[in-house]
Amino acid sequence: MIKEVELRKCEIAQYRNLTESTHYDEIYEYAAKLKGKKIIHLNATSSGGGVAEILNTLVPLMDCVKVNARWFYIEKNSKFFHLTKEIHNFLQGKKGDLTKEEKNFFLETNKEMAKEMQSLKPDLWILHDPQPVATQGFLSGSHKAIWRSHIDTSKTNRKVWNFLLPYLKKYDLYIFSMRRYIGEGLEYKKTRIFPPAIDPLNQKNVEMDRSSAKKIVGKFGIDTERPLISQISRFDPWKDPWGVIDAYRVAKNKFPNLQLALIGVFSLDDPQAQKIASELIKYSNKDKNIHILSNKDGVHALEVNAFQRVSDIVIQKSIKEGFGMTVTEAMWKEKPVIGGRAGGILEQIEDGVNGFLVTTVQETADRIVQLLEDENLAKRMGQKGKETVRKKYLIPRLLRDHLKLYDEILNS
Ligand code: UDP
C-alpha cells in the first residue's frame, strides 16, 4: 500500500552561490544534532503537483547532509484517491459532507496503511495532506508526528474538518503554508508556518538558454515568434482554467496572434484531472491557438521549464491556492506573473510590483494586454519576481526550516 521513493543524488554545495549563505551553517548544525534519528515523509504521490515537487528535492538534500530521511508514497488506489480528492475539495471550502460509508472507507484505508507503516519505526513521521492524516491515530509507539498541510484551509468545510479533527489532535506539531490556514481546534503553539520553496537546480528550474527553450516549445506546435501566454497547473477546478481561456479570448481582440498553452498533469492521486481536461478541450472550441498539453504529450519537468521561459506572461488564475509553486517557478525565470487573488499567491505577488493580482476575467485580460504592450514593465516585474524568490523561496531555506523543527521536536 505504501512504497518507497528512491532518492536522487544531489550536492548541497551547488546551491551556495544562489542564495543567502547564512542557511548553510544552520543546516549543518541541525543535521549534526539529528545524527541517529530516523525521519520518514509520507504523501500521496511521487510525481505530479507541488508536494511531490518539494519532496523530490527536500528529502534528497536531507540525505545529502547525512540526515537519515526517507520518503514513501501511497500506491495507486482509485477508490481511495477519488475520495481523498473530494476531501481535498471539502477542505478547500466545497460545500456538502462525506457520507457515513465514505468516512468508514477513509478510516479503514488509513488503518490498513498504518499497519504497514508500523514496521518502519522512525523517530519522526511527517505526514503530508489529508490522504494519510488518520494513520497517526492507528500507530503505536513513542515516535513523534507532524502533519504538513499544503492546502488552503482558510475557509474550510467545518463538517469535514471536524470529522478529521480527532485524528489531527494526535499530532505533536502542524506545518501550514500560511497563518490563516490554521484550522479551528488545533493548539496554536503547536503550529508552524513554512512557505514552500523551489529547487533552482532541478530540471524544472535550471538555467536554459532561450534558443533551446524555443526549440522545445516549438515541438508542441507553438509558434515561438508570436506572443504566448500560459498556465501550467493541475487540471483542477480551483485553478480556474476556464477563466484563463475566457481572458485569452478577450485579450485576443487586441492581440489577434496571441497563443495560449494550458499545461496540466495527470497523476494517480488526482482522478478528477481527466474529466476537466476533456471539458477544456471542448471549451477551447477547436481554437488552433489554444494548446492543451500534459505529461501524456511528453510535457515533463524540462518542457515545463521551457514553456515558462518562452511564455511572455505566466498566468495562475487560481480561486484557491495552497501556495502556488508555479508562480514561484515563473518568477524565478523572470517572467511577469498574473495570479489570482488567492492563498499563497497573495503572499508571493505584490500587486503591480513583481506581478499582478486579479480576480475577474476582464482584469486578467486587461493585465495581459498591458504587459504585452509594455515590454519594459514586463521586464521590470520579472526582475523583481526573481529577487523575491531568491530571498524567500529557495530550497536551502526550507531545508533549514525543516531540520530546525526536527531538532526542536526530537531533541528538546
Ligand atoms: N506541474 C507540472 N506539470 C504540469 C502542471 C504542474 O510539472 O503540467 C508542477 C508545477 O511546475 C509545480 C507543481 O506541479 O511544480 C504544482 O505546484 P503548485 O503549488 O502550483 O500547485 P499544486 O499542484 O500543489 O496544487
Predicted confidence at residue 258, as pLDDT, reads 98
Determine if ligand 1 sits within 6 Å of the CB of residue 199.
Answer: no
pTM for the whole structure: 0.95
Determine if ligand 1 sits within 6 Å of the CB of residue 233.
Answer: yes
Query: Probe ligand 1: pick from 57, 129, 304, 320, max atoms within 8 Å of CB?
Result: 304
Same CATH topology for 2-197+394-411 and 210-392: the answer is yes
Predicted confidence at residue 362, as pLDDT, reads 98
Residue 65, judged by CB atoms within 10 A of its CB (0-12, 13-18, 19+), counts as: middle
**Ligand 1 centroid vs 225 CA: distance in angstroms?**
26
Instruction: Say yes or no to pLDDT of 96 above 90.
Output: yes
Instruction: Say yes or no to pLDDT of 10 above 90.
Output: no
Per-residue pLDDT averaged across 310-329, rounded?
97
**Ligand 1 centroid vs 294 CA: distance in angstroms?**
11
Residue nearest to atom 17 of ligand 1 (CA): 50
Query: Probe ligand 1: pick from 45, 177, 232, max atoms within 8 Å of CB?
Result: 232
Determine if ligand 1 sits within 6 Å of the CB of residue 129.
Answer: no
Question: Which of these CATH numbers, 3.40.190.80, 2.40.50.140, 3.40.50.2000, 3.30.56.10, describes 2-197+394-411?
Answer: 3.40.50.2000
Q: Tell me the pLDDT of the chain averaged across its residues.
A: 96
Predicted confidence at residue 219, as pLDDT, reads 98
**Ligand 1 centroid vs 264 CA: distance in angstroms?**
8
Per-residue pLDDT averaged across 341-356, rounded?
97
Query: Probe ligand 1: pick from 85, 206, 265, 294, max atoms within 8 Å of CB?
Result: 265
Work out which ligand 1 atom sits closest to the CA atom of 293: 8
For residue 22, name the pLDDT band (cuts at 50, 70, 90).
confident
Determine if ligand 1 sits within 6 Å of the CB of residue 304.
Answer: yes
Query: Probe ligand 1: pick from 85, 233, 240, 295, max atoms within 8 Å of CB?
Result: 233
**Ligand 1 centroid vs 322 CA: distance in angstroms?**
11
Per-residue pLDDT averaged across 43-71, rounded?
96
Work out which ligand 1 atom sits closest to the CA atom of 308: 11
Return the residue matching grid coordinates 463538517: 159
For residue 189, name the pLDDT band (cuts at 50, 70, 90).
very high
**Ligand 1 centroid vs 295 CA: distance in angstroms?**
12
Instruction: Say yes or no to pLDDT of 398 above 90.
Output: yes
In tens, the pLDDT along 24-37 reads 999 999 999 999 99
Predicted confidence at residue 374, as pLDDT, reads 98
Instruction: Tell me the HSE value of 274 on the side-chain side, using a 13 A CA sphere.
Output: 7
CA dist 117 and 124 (Å) reads 12
Instruction: Say yes or no to pLDDT of 21 above 80.
Output: no
What percent of the chain lies above the pLDDT cut of 90?
Answer: 94
Instruction: Say yes or no to pLDDT of 168 above 90.
Output: yes
Segments making up each domain of the chain, as ranges: 2-197+394-411, 210-392
Residue 72's φ and ψ, nearest 5 degrees, are -120, 155
Determine if ligand 1 sits within 6 Å of the CB of residue 324.
Answer: yes
Long-range contacts (CB closer than 8 Å, 24 or more residues apart) made by 351-358: 353/381, 353/384, 354/381, 354/384, 354/385, 354/387, 354/388, 355/327, 355/331, 355/381, 355/385, 356/381, 358/317
**Ligand 1 centroid vs 119 CA: distance in angstroms?**
32
Q: According to CATH, what is the number of the domain 210-392?
A: 3.40.50.2000
Per-residue pLDDT averaged across 368-390, rounded?
98
Per-residue pLDDT averaged across 242-270, rounded?
96
In tens, the pLDDT along 225-253 reads 999 999 999 999 999 999 999 999 999 99
